[in-house]
Amino acid sequence: MTGTGAKSSSSAVGPAAGYFYQLRYGLLKALEVFPQHPTSIISIETLDDVSIEGENLTIDSQLKHSVDSDKTISKFSPAIWRTLAIWMARLRSGIDEYHEFHFITTGKVDDDNPLRLLRPDPDDAAVNAALQGLEIAAQSSSSVATAKDRAVFLAAAEGERFSLVRRIRLADTSPNLEVIGSEIEHKIRYACEAGQVSSFREDLEGWWIGRVFSNWIADEGAQIELEELGTQVSFLKERYKPSELPLDAPEEDCEDLMEDSVFIRQIRAVTDSERRLRNAQKAFLRAKVQRSKWVREHRIDPTELESFDAGLKDRWEAYHAGECDSLSSDPTPDEMIATGRTVLRWAETSEVPIRATRSVYLTSGSYHALADGLEVGWHPQFSNLFGFEE
Checking if the pLDDT of 357 tops 90, the result is yes
Nearest residue to 322 via CA among 341, 337, 343: 343
Q: Model confidence over 309-343: pLDDT tens digits?
A: 999 999 999 999 999 999 999 999 999 999 999 99
Q: Residue 18 has what pLDDT?
A: 84
Q: Residue 39 has what pLDDT?
A: 96
Q: Residue 4 has what pLDDT?
A: 45
Checking if the pLDDT of 47 tops 70, the result is no
DSSP assignment string, 101-168: EEEEESSEE-TT-GGGGGSSS--HHHHHHHHHHHHHHHHH---STTHHHHHHHHHS-HHHHHHHHTTE
pTM over 0.75: no
Residue 389 φ/ψ, nearest 5 degrees = -90, 140
Cα-Cα-Cα-Cα torsion 381, 382, 388, 390, nearest 10 degrees, comes to: -50
Q: Residue 242 has what pLDDT?
A: 79
Q: Which of 6-20, 54-68, 107-121, 248-262 has the lowest average pLDDT?
A: 6-20
Checking if the pLDDT of 204 tops 50, the result is yes
Q: Over pLDDT 70: what percentage of the chain?
A: 94
Residues constituting the chain: 390
Q: Residue 6 has what pLDDT?
A: 44
- Greater confidence, 120 or 36? 36
What average pLDDT does range 17-46 have in this prediction?
A: 92
192 CB neighbour count, 10 Å cutoff: 21
Residues facing residue 81 across a β-bridge: none
Checking if the pLDDT of 92 tops 50, the result is yes
Checking if the pLDDT of 19 tops 50, the result is yes
**Measured distance CA(142)–CA(225) in Å, rounded:** 43
- Please, what is the Cα angle at 360 between 358 and 362, to 5 degrees? 75
Checking if the pLDDT of 15 tops 80, the result is no
Give 262's contacts (C-beta < 8 A, 6+ positions apart).
Answer: 371, 372, 373, 374, 386
- Greater confidence, 69 or 276? 276
**Measured distance CA(365)–CA(372) in Å, rounded:** 10
Q: Residue 14 has what pLDDT?
A: 64
Q: Residue 139 has what pLDDT?
A: 96
Checking if the pLDDT of 387 tops 90, the result is no
- Greater confidence, 187 or 297? 187
What average pLDDT does range 232-246 have in this prediction?
A: 87
Confidence of residue 2 (pLDDT cuts 50, 70, 90): very low
Checking if the pLDDT of 13 tops 60, the result is no
Q: Which of 132-146, 251-265, 361-375 has the lowest average pLDDT?
A: 251-265
One-letter amino acid for residue 25 of the chain = Y
What average pLDDT does range 137-166 have in this prediction?
A: 96
Q: How far is CA 239 from CA 4, 188, 293, 353, 381, in A?
A: 46, 14, 22, 19, 44
What average pLDDT does range 219-235 have in this prediction?
A: 92
- 3 state DSSP class of 348: helix
Confidence of residue 299 (pLDDT cuts 50, 70, 90): confident
Domain ranges (residues) in the chain: 10-240, 262-385
What average pLDDT does range 16-31 have in this prediction?
A: 92
- Greater confidence, 298 or 321? 321
Q: Residue 46 has what pLDDT?
A: 65
Q: Residue 323 has what pLDDT?
A: 96
Q: Residue 255 has what pLDDT?
A: 67
Confidence of residue 252 (pLDDT cuts 50, 70, 90): confident
Element (H, E) at 60: strand 57-64
Q: Residue 356 has what pLDDT?
A: 86
Instruction: Indicate left, alpha or beta for 156 from its phi (over 0: left) and psi (-120 to 50: alpha).
Output: beta
Q: Residue 257 has what pLDDT?
A: 77
Nearest residue to 25 via CA among 61, 66, 67, 79: 61
**Measured distance CA(363)–CA(358) in Å, rounded:** 8
Residue 364 φ/ψ, nearest 5 degrees = -65, -40
Checking if the pLDDT of 74 tops 90, the result is yes
Q: For the chain, state the CA radius of gyration.
A: 31
Residues facing residue 59 across a β-bridge: 52, 100
**Measured distance CA(183)–CA(29) in Å, rounded:** 10
- Output b/e per residue, 272-289; b: 16+ Cβ within 10 A: eeeebbebbbbbbbbbbb
Cα-Cα-Cα-Cα torsion 132, 138, 139, 144, nearest 10 degrees, comes to: 170
Nearest residue to 344 via CA among 379, 314, 317: 379
Q: Residue 66 has what pLDDT?
A: 83
Mean pLDDT of the chain: 91
